[in-house]
Structure 1
């Protein structure tokens, strides 16, 4: 018989049921085992028992985090999803932010070989240019998901550990950190591991500050895309014209590594909606966007896949791409 910890990690303790529907005693027993495991992991990284206990005591369970995690915006169909992000208000805010930081954006785009509009689009989609960075205490969000959300507890427990390391490295006050329900923070909503690995001190003031410094945020978003393989001036996604739905055996992309080539996808019944010179041997994927009347399909290329390294949802990636195109068009027209 597996131990309680093993059972939890295998996801067999009613992972789809609300926390309130489970036995409080069982939940706390499982959480205690996971906290013990976390303690051992952090101790191996050089933290003292006092530091670990103090860090854990700063976190609290937050049911609102669980509720938000189980009802993400990305669960909406495309026709309900994109109006949330592709708005005139966000576009005007993006153009203003771009103008205010024109030199920084240009420097980041050149240094990291990333299109400037994608940098601006990410910060706009994530936090409306710093206007909405999240109101959840980051430590509470990661504590809750790491110990009380079995489907992804292992991932979020690692992020909780990264948060402790990040706070020590950057001198952050744990009690003051606010972010998303998933523990992301700052202008670009970096989770702790991404903050540690991809943040850059882009204004050379001795600190990687993604919480209050838009210059560091711009450079860090650009670095994130660079490190994940973005190629400037390369196509991202192209609409497809289909005559009778998605031909079999093609499948819509659902998070897996790219295994199709363009030549595997294009056919007489699924062709490019617009003429473009394209290397048909390059990696590609199929995107489905659910409109009110019917689905539309797009050809996603390597740069589209790179956007999904920021957020795995194809809807998110498409919103970022389409917003970036709006930004570029309006910016170039100025």
Structure 2
């Protein structure tokens, strides 16, 4: 098959998928099919987006990943944000149980406090990934549908909203489905504005964590050591984010915590391994660590948020 014929085959498959999408949006969500078709005709396939999603930061080893986020500049900006929005953060913590430092850390890691909210057209991003990125096409077509629904509900201009290469938006980088289901109008002005309103972003990040099972007052993770004689550790470290082990099982396999730290035998935990230049660093994740991975499905991301939140809390206590 020639390259031209291959491209025609791809185009015909995409055309069929687009027609199927238009029909679904009309029948399931009562959109005008001509509106959906016209909108998608105005969307652009963006090769840069396809290249970006193929090389996510989360593919880096830990020792290359964390320096991107744990910087003095981000810490200073985070403290200024915390002080400026202290009242909103305190109220969010009281209403949801999610600590202020976690909320501040998330917004800092995601957009450097609104500085970098994304340069890509959200429509183009979801169109590109939904129809030209087979590994996750089903997910992104679903998010494209959610984006149409979101813009109809919130009154956004479909073509105007900018975000990340994956279609995440605003101060907290919510994808369309998360925006629809977890965004809150935290300042009671009648608008759930995560694009330009940090107060709504604070309340919405807190609500997202609460709705995903955040346990108020509970720890997040503990640094661990592993007995050199243990031959079971590799079996306990898995790519799955789900918690399948108890502290008793990890302890029996030679995993140890600081002498001052104790966990109940049946506590649900996960052994986490982070690659350093010369060794592997181990941590024991607790349910709140898992909740952070609901925001971004990466242990590296969750650990960066956790450690940044600790830096913020310690620095804030010195103020």
TM range (shorter): over 0.9
Q: Distance in 2 between matches of 1:315 and 1:159?
A: 24
Matched, 1:106 2:90: yes
* C-alpha distance after superposition, 1:47-90 (max 9, x if no partner): 11122112212321000000000000001000000000000000
Provide the residue aligned with 2:185 in structure 1.
Answer: 201
- C-alpha change, 1:295 and 1:36, in structure 2 (3 Å) is same
1:229 aligns to what SS in structure 2?
Answer: coil
Between 90-99 and 27-36, report the one with greater CA deviation. 27-36
1:134-156: per-residue Cα shift (whole Å, max 9, x none)? 10111100000000000000000
Runs of 4 or more above 3 Å deviation: none
252-261 vs 296-305, which moves further: 252-261
Matches within 5 A, 1:317-332: 317-332=302-317
Relative to the length of structure 2, the TM-score reads: 0.95
Q: C-alpha separation between the residues in 2 aligned to 1:239 and 1:196? A: 36
Matched, 1:40 2:23: yes
- Flag the 1:22–1:303 CA change in 2: closer, same or farther, 3 A: farther
Larger displacement relative to structure 2 (238-247 or 203-212): 238-247
Q: Which residue of 1 aligns with 2:44?
A: 60
Number of the residue aligned with 1:126: 110
User: How far off its partner does 1:277 sit?
Assistant: 2.9
Question: Corresponding residue for 1:295?
Answer: 280
The number of residues matched between the two structures is 315
Work out whether 1:270 is the aligned partner of 2:219.
Answer: no
Unaligned runs of 5+ in 1: 1-19
Query: What CA distance in whole angstroms lies between the structure 1 residues aligned with 2:16 and 2:228?
Result: 53
Asked if structure 2 preserves the Cα contact closer than 8 Å seen for 1:239 and 1:274, the reply is no
**TM superposition shift of 1:255:** 2.9
Q: Contact between 1:255 and 1:312, CA under 8 Å: does it hold in 2?
A: no
* Equivalent residue, structure 1, for 2:76: 92
Change (3 A) 1:276 1:213: same
The CA deviation at 1:275 is: 2.2
